Amino acid sequence: MSNVFFTSLEHLAVLELKGGQPDKLLQGQITADLNLVNTEQALPGLLCSLKGRVISSFEVIALGQDHLALILPASNLDVVQTHLAKYQPFFKTQLNEITSDYQLIGLSGKEVPALTSSLVGAWPKDEYQQAITEQGLVLNLPGPLPRALVMLKRDAENFATTLTKLQNLTNQVETDCWHLLDIKMGRALVDADLTDQFLPQMLNYQAIGAVSFKKGCYIGQEIVARAQFRGQVKKRLHRAHLTTGELTLPAGVYDTQGKQQGDIITIAADRRGELEALAVINQKAIESDTNLFADPDLKIKLILHKLPYDPTGRKALHGAEA
């Protein structure tokens, strides 16, 4: 049995932007720089409100010439599509949900490069690089081990055979395991439950390459830039371990006085049955080095873990400044 884990990514959807000028449509709406996206390079990105709060997170991919797509939480599909549709006529671009055209799969493990190369036809070497093949698309995502988001084309000649081989050569796990990998990498998925609550910097999105500070205007850009350059971010995303196996979201973060200092936004069980989490916490509480808890009764201790990046840094492609 392979040491690769297979997850069905049914919580995601794919929104296609095809024809006309899809890059120019998106350039004025989202945080990512569309000038950097091509058939070999994807980007993480965000749609923000006028107040700079994140409406949805997603990956921006290129499927071909004048042919882009967003891989986003299915619960946010309608709000993102409705927003972009307002600008659609100006750029003569068609918007269509094409989720059903693909089987969305998450793969993680040491053998992912070899597996995707042999069965799907490619393994993009670097994070957020993508490869298009006759079988579909492979996107290299950050992970503690090699990790891929695979879009298998259902109309491909060998679709059923390829899917069966992938399933037979991997360990199939629940979606919670995929969320656990996101937690370990400090990547917050902004779905309908989290929409319009946080600035990008509160979720460290500027530190993982999802925000360009050089591309020019987009919805919410002025507030996002002001928060970055005037140091107005008082809360940030932190990774934590909880000394419990049960917690219901939404949940808060509390100090030793029982005062709420933040919010737990994502949880997933680890191998021991306890919970890993991402939490947005007041920086003053972090700097005071106080003990933190996941309940107002102070029974569930919250133990902070180091993130795999500098949460106050700025990252763009190949490590350049955003």
Mean pLDDT, the chain cut into blocks of 10 residues (322 residues total): 89 98 98 96 97 98 97 98 96 98 98 97 96 98 97 97 97 96 98 98 96 94 92 92 93 97 97 95 93 96 96 68 53
Strand order in the sheet with 5-8: 130-133, 136-141, 147-153, 102-108, 5-8, 171-172
Looking at domain 5-174, which CATH architecture does it have? 2-Layer Sandwich (3.30)
Q: Smallest Cα–Cα separation from 37: which of 24, 23, 50?
A: 23
End-to-end CA distance of the chain: give it in Å, rounded: 42
Handedness of CA 202, 207, 211, 215 (dihedral sign): positive
User: Which pLDDT belongs to residue 1?
Assistant: 42
User: Which pLDDT belongs to residue 289?
Assistant: 85
Residue with tokens 């690089």: 129
| Distance between CA atoms of residues 199 and 18, nearest Å | 29
Q: Smallest Cα–Cα separation from 105: which of 164, 193, 43, 39?
A: 164
Looking at domain 200-305, which CATH architecture does it have? Beta Barrel (2.40)
User: Which pLDDT belongs to residue 2?
Assistant: 73
User: Which pLDDT belongs to residue 322?
Assistant: 57
What residue ranges of the chain are covered by domains with CATH 2.40.30.160? 200-305
User: Which pLDDT belongs to residue 317?
Assistant: 53
DSSP-derived 3-state class of residue 274: coil
Beta strands, E only, the chain: 5-8, 12-18, 43-48, 54-64, 67-73, 94-97, 102-108, 130-133, 136-141, 147-153, 171-172, 235-242, 251-254, 260-269, 275-282, 292-293, 301-305
What residue ranges of the chain are covered by domains with CATH 3.30.1360.120? 5-174
User: Which pLDDT belongs to residue 319?
Assistant: 45
Per DSSP, what are the bridge partners of residue 150? 105, 138
**Ramachandran sector of residue 319 (left: φ over 0; alpha: ψ -120 to 50; beta: rest):** left
Q: What stretches of the chain show up as alpha helix (H) in DSSP?
A: 22-27, 77-85, 88-91, 112-119, 159-168, 175-184, 221-229, 283-287
- Let me know how long the chain is: 322
The structure's pTM equals: 0.96
The 8-class DSSP code of residue 201 comes to: G
| Distance between CA atoms of residues 297 and 301, nearest Å | 10
Q: Smallest Cα–Cα separation from 213: which of 199, 198, 226, 232?
A: 226
User: Which pLDDT belongs to residue 316?
Assistant: 66
CA angle 21, 22, 26 (to 5 degrees): 120
